């Protein structure tokens, strides 16, 4: 997710925390790089310019260049600005009971799949409190014959009720569905709607009639992140004709540039509630502007990773990671633990992006296998080090490198590469610690 921008940004910032510290002389250049990256990620030009200009005026206003650590201050400031851009600290907390939830969007944007994901999410939330929601799915998509069947299949899969309207006019069908929902005393009604290839007046008219009859508490806009800036125009058209509360951006797992997500909040002034990152019902992530901003900067997203990992790791392991991260100093042992987490969580691609400094690691889906091998090799190398070397990696000089390489059956370059990776990760952890990003992270 957002790999394109994460790669660009983490390059810029790795440079800034390394040799090329931020100075008056290179400020314009760095701002230019940020702006170019945004534009290359398909953020509208005006939005990219605005963001860069705001950052610049804050850098000058807050005298960042004259501070003790201009680079770190700059990254912090950029992070905060990005976070505001993406929606500040508001997070979607859940649907009120009872609720009608109307799901809209263009054809193939992921409406039907998203309904199943949302119901699954709402059930998960309830089950944490020992409860269960009574949920009804229904569709008024009479344009594509298989559409309603698809929803029925998904209803079975996520174990909720499904109702097929007798009426075939979408507006009448919506009324019929609504009566069934009320009579059944359901808590949530998810209403799936038809999508077209393009925004058209009839479609919007129909939705607006359904809207005025059902008066849904939630109108959700499903947007395909692959469609780039066009999706912003789609959202605007829906907003003007029907209105909506918030959006769900789908297909963030694909090769999307991600610019539309970045600009969505700024252009529409509405929240992104969720992000879809896969085809399965569990592939839904809540949208946290703060975490995304951190992730975009190449600082990973340990919080989300930890939440995902919760039930997969022993408490002792979690506490160990917590201590290391909170101290702001990691050793090669901690690094090795991080790698363990990656392998335990399964798919390398899905995990790597959450780890500080590793998001830039070259692991495209095709290379996942190679990445897995790399991790195995890293672990073999680390295991042929002495404990002292693992705890104080600074002492690993050329002759130690040679011994380690020999022990692990790898080349000296491989040992070198591992140490580079580790140092990068350690640098990010140090930075995160300085920014206070580990506070409350591990309290579930
Ligand atoms: N990779 C990926 N695929 C997704 C995601 N969300 C949906 N899809 C896929 O996108 C395709 C279209 O999804 P649907 O849920 O049928 O889309 P829809 O908006 O209901 O489509 P229509 O009913 O035809 O308008 C399906 O193949 C889904 O599996 C996602 O987050 N990631
Ligand atoms: Mg559909």
Over the stretch 193-209, which tens digit does the pLDDT of each residue have?
A: 998 888 889 999 999 99
User: Cα of 180 to ligand 1 centre, how many Å?
Assistant: 27
User: Cα of 38 to ligand 1 centre, how many Å?
Assistant: 26
Residues with CB under 5 A from ligand 2 (ion): 111-112, 147
Q: What is the per-residue pLDDT for 366?
A: 64
Q: What is the per-residue pLDDT for 442?
A: 38
Output 326 or 221, whichever has higher pLDDT. 221
pLDDT band at 157 (very low <50, low <70, confident <90, very high): very high
Residue 113 CA, closest ligand 1 atom number? 15
Cβ–ligand 1 distance for 142 under 6 Å, the answer no
Residue 222 CA, closest ligand 1 atom number? 19
Cβ–ligand 1 distance for 276 under 6 Å, the answer yes
Secondary structure of the chain in HEC code, one letter for each residue: CCHHHHHHHHHHHHHHHCCCCCCHHHHHHHHHHHHHHHHHCCCCHHHHHHHHHHHHHHHHHCCHHHCCCHHHHHHHHHHHHHHHHHCCCCCCCCCCCCEEEEEECCCCCCHHHHHHHHHHHHHHHHHHCCCCCCEEEEECCCCCHHHHHHHHHHHHHCCCEEECCCCCCHHHHHHHHHHHHHHHCCCEEEEECCCCCCCCHHHHHHHHHHHHHHCCCEEEEEEEHHHCHHHHHHHHHHHHHCCCCEEEEECCCCCCCCHHHHHHHHHHCCEEEEEECCCCCCCEEECCHHHHHHHHCCCCCHHHHHHHHHHHCCHHHHHHHHHHHHHCCCCHHHHHHHHHHHHHCCCHHHHHCCCCCCCCCCCCHHHHHHHHHHHHHHHHHHHCCCHHHHHCHHHCCHHHHHHHHHHHCCCHHHHHHHHHHHHHHHHHHHHHHHCCCCCCCCCC
Least confident of 159-163, 260-264, 301-305: 301-305
pLDDT single digits (tens) 343-367: 666 556 666 666 666 555 555 666 6
Cβ–ligand 1 distance for 260 under 6 Å, the answer no
Cβ–ligand 1 distance for 271 under 6 Å, the answer no
User: Cα of 344 to ligand 2 centre, how many Å?
Assistant: 34
Task: Find the mean pLDDT for residues 151-157.
Answer: 97
User: Cα of 5 to ligand 2 centre, how many Å?
Assistant: 30
pTM given for the model: 0.74
Cβ–ligand 1 distance for 123 under 6 Å, the answer no
Residue 141 CA, closest ligand 1 atom number? 23
Task: Find the mean pLDDT for residues 297-323.
Answer: 66
Residue 105 CA, closest ligand 1 atom number? 19
User: Cα of 111 to ligand 1 centre, how many Å?
Assistant: 7
Output 317 or 240, whichever has higher pLDDT. 240
Return the residue whose CA atom lies nearest to atom 26 of ligand 1. 110
* Substitution site in 250, 280, 349 for ligand 1 pocket (most atoms within 8 Å of beta carbon): 250
Please tell me the number of the ligand nearest to residue 139's CA. 2
pLDDT band at 94 (very low <50, low <70, confident <90, very high): very high
Q: What is the per-residue pLDDT for 301?
A: 64
Q: Which CATH superfamily is domain 99-296 in?
A: P-loop containing nucleotide triphosphate hydrolases (3.40.50.300)
Give the domain ranges of the chain.
Answer: 3-86, 99-296, 302-434
Query: Can you tell me which residue has the tokens 């949302």?
Result: 118
Q: Which CATH superfamily is domain 3-86 in?
A: SRP54, nucleotide-binding domain (1.20.120.140)
Q: What is the per-residue pLDDT for 348?
A: 61
User: Cα of 316 to ligand 1 centre, how many Å?
Assistant: 39
Residue 196 CA, closest ligand 1 atom number? 25
Residue 250 CA, closest ligand 1 atom number? 31
Cβ–ligand 1 distance for 371 under 6 Å, the answer no
Cβ–ligand 1 distance for 259 under 6 Å, the answer no
Residue 108 CA, closest ligand 1 atom number? 21
Cβ–ligand 1 distance for 139 under 6 Å, the answer no
Return the residue whose CA atom lies nearest to atom 14 of ligand 1. 110
pLDDT band at 307 (very low <50, low <70, confident <90, very high): low
Cβ–ligand 1 distance for 105 under 6 Å, the answer yes
Task: Find the mean pLDDT for residues 29-58.
Answer: 92
Paired tokens of 276 = 């879809």
pLDDT at residue 100 greater than cutoff 90: yes
Mean pLDDT of the chain: 85
pLDDT at residue 109 greater than cutoff 50: yes
Q: Domain 302-434 falls in which CATH fold?
A: 434 Repressor (Amino-terminal Domain) (1.10.260)
Please tell me the number of the ligand nearest to residue 152's CA. 2
Return the residue whose CA atom lies nearest to atom 10 of ligand 1. 110
């Amino acid at each position: 997710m957002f790999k394109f921008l994460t790669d660009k940004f983490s390059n810029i910032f790795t440079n800034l925390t390394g040799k090329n510290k931020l100075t008056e002389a290179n400020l314009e250049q760095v701002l230019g790089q940020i702006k170019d990256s945004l534009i290359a990620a398909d953020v509208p030009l005006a939005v990219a310019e605005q963001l860069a200009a705001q950052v610049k005026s804050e850098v000058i206003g807050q005298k960042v260049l004259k501070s003790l650590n201009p680079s770190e201050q700059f990254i912090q400031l950029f992070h905060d600005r990005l976070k505001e851009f993406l929606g500040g600290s508001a997070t979607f907390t859940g649907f009120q009971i009872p609720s009608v939830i109307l799901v809209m969007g263009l054809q193939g944007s992921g409406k039907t799949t998203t309904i199943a994901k949302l119901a699954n999410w709402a059930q998960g939330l309830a089950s944490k409190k020992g409860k269960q929601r009574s949920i009804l799915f229904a569709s008024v998509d009479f344009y594509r014959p298989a559409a309603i069947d698809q929803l029925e299949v998904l209803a079975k899969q996520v174990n909720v009720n499904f109702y097929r309207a007798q009426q075939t006019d979408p507006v009448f069908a919506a009324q019929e569905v609504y009566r069934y929902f009320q009579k059944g005393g359901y808590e949530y009604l998810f209403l799936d709607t038809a999508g077209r290839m393009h925004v058209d007046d009839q479609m919007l008219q129909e939705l607006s009639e359904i809207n005025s009859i059902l008066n849904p508490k939630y109108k959700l806009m499903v947007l395909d992140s692959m469609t780039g800036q066009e999706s912003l125009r789609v959202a605007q058209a829906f907003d003007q004709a029907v209105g909506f509360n918030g959006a769900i951006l789908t297909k963030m797992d694909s090769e999307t540039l991600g610019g539309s997500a970045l600009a969505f909040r700024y252009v529409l002034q509405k929240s992104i509630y969720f992000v879809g990152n896969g085809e399965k019902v569990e592939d839904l992530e809540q949208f946290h502007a703060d975490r995304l901003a951190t992730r975009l900067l190449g600082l990973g997203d340990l919080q989300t990773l930890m939440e995902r990992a919760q039930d997969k790791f022993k408490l002792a392991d979690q506490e160990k990671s917590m201590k290391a991260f909170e101290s702001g100093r990691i050793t090669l042992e901690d690094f090795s633990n991080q790698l363990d987490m990656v392998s335990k969580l399964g798919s390398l691609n899905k995990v790597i992006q959450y780890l500080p400094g590793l998001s830039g690691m070259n692991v495209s889906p095709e290379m996942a296998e190679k990445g897995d091998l790399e991790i195995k090799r890293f672990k073999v190398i680390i295991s042929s080090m002495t404990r002292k070397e693992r705890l104080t990696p600074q002492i690993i000089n050329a002759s130690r490198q040679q011994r380690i390489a020999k022990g692990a059956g790898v080349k000296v370059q491989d040992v070198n590469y591992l140490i580079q990776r580790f140092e990068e990760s350690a640098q990010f952890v140090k930075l995160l610690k300085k920014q206070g990003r580990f506070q409350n992270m591990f309290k579930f």
